[in-house]
Amino acid sequence: MKRWLFFFQYIVNPRTVGAILPSSKFLGSKMVEKINFKNAKYIVEYGPGTGVFTERLLEKRNPMTIILLVENNKEFYLLLKEKFKEEKNLFIVNGSAENIGKYLKDYRIPYADYVISGLPFASLPKNVSIQILINTTKILKKDGEFITFQYTKFKKVFIEQFFTKIDVKREIRNLPPAYVFNCSSPQINRGRKYGV
């Protein structure tokens, strides 16, 4: 069911879905392996889709940790609402990651220890990607991390404009194989270059 939904949404919204199939459990595990779940108080996830990464976050988190999901696709949003309706300290927003500052205020979340992203930066409009990354650097705690994956290293140079340290690992047990970028040391004044 989830695979067909994912494929259909890719056909309808290829620029925002960015993949034909959901991420594998192996990629999900690699996305969260560097998270300090004992100390993390607030975790944000952009573009959770069908919830593969979310499931890993919920398995490993401290029960008091607050997780905020931001999903722009209405069908995926409804799926997530139903799938995780029994979860405590989990909030789901149907909206764009560009507005993450507003969503944190709405839920009285002061900052993010980690931001996990399933967004397809390779296909998103550049101005949207810029706004998302600038706002991500603003909400992250000083020693926080932005964790994303891409199917190529093509966007690494672009992301380096916003984070001074990026650790890259490959997960071949995914279709297609993917690269996980662990990004830290945000360049908090980067918005000036773009007039933000």
CA distance 179 to 169: 6
CA distance 147 to 35: 9
Residue scoring higher pLDDT (26 or 194) = 26
CA distance 83 to 58: 12
The tens digit of pLDDT for each residue in 67-94 reads: 999 999 999 999 999 999 999 999 999 9
CB of 151 closer than 8 Å to CB of 176: yes
Q: pTM for the whole thing?
A: 0.87
- CATH code at 90? 3.40.50.150
Number of domains in the chain: 1
Does residue 174 form part of some domain? yes
Taking Cα atoms as reference points, which of 96, 100, 103, 42 lies closest to residue 71?
Answer: 96
Beta strands in 8-155, from DSSP E residues, in sequence order: 42-46, 66-71, 90-94, 112-117, 140-150
Does residue 162 form part of some domain? yes
Does residue 127 register a pLDDT over 80? yes
Instruction: Name the token pair of 92.
Output: 């789901």
Whole-number pLDDT of residue 122: 85
Whole-number pLDDT of residue 5: 44
Supply the range of the domain harboring residue 81. 23-193
Does residue 2 form part of some domain? no
Amino acid letter, 166: I
Does residue 25 register a pLDDT over 50? yes
